[in-house]
Amino acid sequence: SQQGEEDPQALSIQEGENATMNCSYKTSINNLQWYRQNSGRGLVHLILIRSNEREKHSGRLRVTLDTSKKSSSLLITASRAADTASYFCATDAIQGAQKLVFGQGTRLTINP
């Protein structure tokens, strides 16, 4: 079963604009990770944010985490055509599990 939901399910923007994707989850977590998946391929790890962190940056990526609201956001600044992909958040629950639980993903399209 999916841990939570990503919003929006699909997003289409112009190259150079910023893209924001949101993720909600249900249980208490150790970490939250964001992954990118190009069509028909494996997942690429983008960034991990720990439950005691509120914001993290990596290049053009900015991730926030609000554990009180059980939500996270991924911001991609100055988008490029190569950013076109599906983006997934994945959580690692505190209770006894080493597995990642994924949302359904946001399909991002960057128009040139």
Partner 1 sequence: DTGVSQDPRHKITKRGQNVTFRCDPISEHNRLYWYRQTLGQGPEFLTYFQNEAQLEKSRLLSDRFSAERPKGSFSTLEIQRTEQGDSAMYLCASSLSRVLVGGRSYEQYFGPGTRLTVT
Using the minimum distance from each CB to partner 1, give the nearer residue, 48 or 75. Answer: 48
Q: CA 102 to CA 105: how far, in whole Å? A: 8
Q: Does 45 bind partner 1 (CB under 8 A)?
A: yes
Which two three-digit tokens encode residue 107? 């399909």
Considering only residues 51 to 90 of the shown chain, the ones binding partner 1 according to CB under 8 A are 51-52, 88, 90
Cα 79 from Cα 30, distance rounded (Å): 29
Contact 97, 112 (CB under 8 A): no
Contact, 29 vs 94, CB < 8 A? yes
- Does position 24 interact with partner 1 (CB under 8 A)? The reply is no
Q: Which is nearer to partner 1, 15 or 109 (CB)?
A: 109
List residues near partner 1 by CB under 8 A.
1-2, 30-31, 33, 35, 40-45, 48, 50-52, 88, 90, 92, 97-105
